[in-house]
Amino acid sequence: MRASFVLTPAESKRLIAKAIARKAAIKKAMEKAYIILCEGSTNVMIAQELFGLDVSCENFTCGMSAKRVLCISDLKARTVFPLVAYKGKIVDIPYEKALDDFHLDTVIIKSGNAIDHEGLIGVIVAGYDGGVLPKLLGHAVSQGVRIVCPIGLEKTVLSVKEAAKHTGGKRFDYSMGADYGLFVVANADVVTELDAVRIICGADAYHIASGGIDGSEGAVVLSCEGTSESVNKAVKMIECIKGEPPQKAIRQNCKSCKYVNCIFNGKERQDLPNWLV
């Protein structure tokens, strides 16, 4: 049996979040170890699916591509990141302590901004020291902590390695939003929509096309193949998540922006273009 689906970015994220909650490595971490959940628009849905948290995208992002620019979220709206859970319950400890208390089944969940055909992940970093990511990656790589990366196929690029060569905040002379660099992550356990369909339904999925207009911007077209049972299960799952609303963001005030190369740096609200407000 074969079926075709169209998923908007928000719908893809919900599908991936549901798959993360069913993934064997995540179930084991929920039972026996730590889960370190980083910020992100996909991870907010994972927080909802895994822990039942009543949080929204406005609370759960730091850096973002929103309002047609790269920016960072309003500090006042932010949750403290990363969230740490031990044996399935959120605990009030820093992520460093969770990493020091080494468990082989501990999982770091960190999404990305780019994925290519090699399975390499690109993560945009706009903090001047790279933020939390270098510390997490350093510990994970040296100690063997599993990194799970939920990421939608809308973020597909030709080559993450090539893209990374053309970034670096201070190397931009003009930036429509925050200037940035791109981290390359090569050892993540990647979960896309294709993996999500397999994890949840046992069917095979293929990425056919991307893009659209009038509400389908960033959407992906998937072809799903398998037994009648597995494909019908996928159909029911997709129908349940159709209509997931687009995510919203609260950006920082341009007047207090720290990114000096941003063309909107230091501007008052009334001086910003209408599409940015």
CA distances 56 to 20, 52, 217, Å, are 18, 12, 21
Q: Is position 276 within any domain?
A: no
| Distance, CA of 267 to CA of 271 (rounded, Å) | 6
pLDDT in tens, 22-45: 999 999 999 999 999 999 999 999
Q: Which range marks the domain in which residue 143 is found?
A: 2-271
Dihedral pair phi/psi, residue 100, rounded to 5° = -65, -35
Q: Is position 203 within any domain?
A: yes
The whole-number pLDDT of residue 174 equals 92
Q: Is position 66 within any domain?
A: yes
pLDDT in tens, 195-253: 999 999 999 999 999 999 999 999 999 999 999 999 999 999 999 999 999 999 888 89
Query: Which of 70-79, 150-159, 225-234, 259-268 bottoms out in mean pLDDT, i.e. has the lowest?
Result: 70-79
The whole-number pLDDT of residue 49 equals 97
The whole-number pLDDT of residue 1 equals 97
Q: Is position 48 within any domain?
A: yes
Considering the entire predicted model, what is its pTM?
0.95
Q: Is the pLDDT of residue 77 over 90?
A: no
CA distances 134 to 39, 46, 146, 256, Å, are 14, 22, 15, 26
Q: Is the pLDDT of residue 131 over 90?
A: no
| Distance, CA of 208 to CA of 5 (rounded, Å) | 10
Domain count along the chain: 1
Q: Is position 277 within any domain?
A: no
